[in-house]
Amino acid sequence: MMIGKKPLIQVEDVSFQYLVNKDEKIPVLKNISFNIYPGEYVAIIGHNGSGKSTLSKHLNGILKPSQGEVLVNGMNTKEKRLLKRIRQEVGMVFQNPDNQLIATTVEDDVAFGLENTGVPMDEMESRIRFALDVVGMSEMSKRAPHHLSGGQKQRVAIAGIIAMMPKCLVLDEATSMLDTYGRKDILKVIRKLNDDGMAIITVTHHMSEVAEADRVIVIEGGNIVLQGTPREIFQKKAFLQNIQLDVPAASRIAELVHHNHANFNPEIIHSYEIVNEVKRLLKGGENEWR
């Protein structure tokens, strides 16, 4: 599918161990390899403690592999002098909305990364305006972070990354502390960014977010145990349940109906597809869904 394109991020045989003390190491990641291509939307899923968050922190050099390499646009994250450029290419938003805004107003916070990379003042202003516009927070540019809701804070955090114009945005469980409404706002923003060509890597255990992705990587016990499109992944319901993950209701319903009516497509993952499938069967039920 991505033949001919140069990968944006190459994860090559990466292992990672936490050092407890001199003799004791806890392995978190085991020989993981995959590529991320420009403009892709990839979901990394796994239950708490599966290693998915540790993996994501390797993508911009916050953590460095114990063995193996991570290359961002050909730059190795192990090279300290390249880190700044790597982080300009791969931005990251974290889990807790309260702990990642640095400044006392929204616009000052968005400026933080630009100040660090020495963006000239005139450009800064237009970039901040652009970034806040993308996430729909322009009207709150003078607000203090503690007057914002969790979802709004996360949108500001995303704006802080967008302003740096990275090629890829990594969301490290960025929606897990938000309510349904806040999460929906974030998903909308991500969709828009991806449509405009930014690569998205979302690390999550929310299956509704997974359905949005082009590709899913399932992590369990520090290994990649499953990889494919959301449709392919959701077919393995028993397997997912076994590793403490959930599937969307549409997918579960499709499977149940499929049991009674073999013609009903069990690979459905979106609500609207159910209705289309019912209509399709009523028009000419003899056709196989394949």
* Rounded Cα gap, residues 38 and 127, in angstroms: 22
Provide the Cα torsion 31, 219, 162, 105; round to 10°. Answer: -110
- SS3 (DSSP) at 223: strand
The residue among 27 and 49 lying less far from another protein, judged by its C-beta, is 49
> Cβ of residue 213: shortest distance to another protein, in angstroms?
18
Question: Does residue number 32 form part of the binding site for another protein (CB under 8 A)?
Answer: no
Query: At residue 44, what is the residue type?
Result: I
Interface mask toward another protein for 145-184; x: CB under 8 A: xx--xxx-----x--xx--x-----------xx-xxxx--
Question: Does residue number 70 form part of the binding site for another protein (CB under 8 A)?
Answer: no
Closest CA to 37 of 69, 72, 61, 62: 72
The residue among 2 and 243 lying less far from another protein, judged by its C-beta, is 243
Beta strands in the chain (DSSP E): 9-19, 25-36, 41-45, 67-72, 75-76, 90-93, 168-172, 199-204, 215-220, 223-228
DSSP string covering 59-77:
TTTSS--SEEEEEETTEET
Interface mask toward another protein for 74-113; x: CB under 8 A: ----------x--xx--xx-xxx-xxxxxxxx-xx--xxx
The residue among 2 and 129 lying less far from another protein, judged by its C-beta, is 129
**Residue that the structure tokens 């979901």 belong to:** 43
Question: Does residue number 272 form part of the binding site for another protein (CB under 8 A)?
Answer: yes
Which position among 72, 213, 250, 269 is part of the footprint of another protein (CB under 8 A)?
250
Beta strands in 37-185 (DSSP E): 41-45, 67-72, 75-76, 90-93, 168-172
Q: Among 24-32, 54-62, 193-201, 222-230, which window interacts with another protein (CB under 8 A)?
A: 54-62
The residue among 101 and 213 lying less far from another protein, judged by its C-beta, is 101
The residue among 27 and 285 lying less far from another protein, judged by its C-beta, is 285
Interface mask toward another protein for 184-213; x: CB under 8 A: ---------------------x-xx-----
Tokens describing residue 151: 């979802």
Question: Does residue number 227 form part of the binding site for another protein (CB under 8 A)?
Answer: no
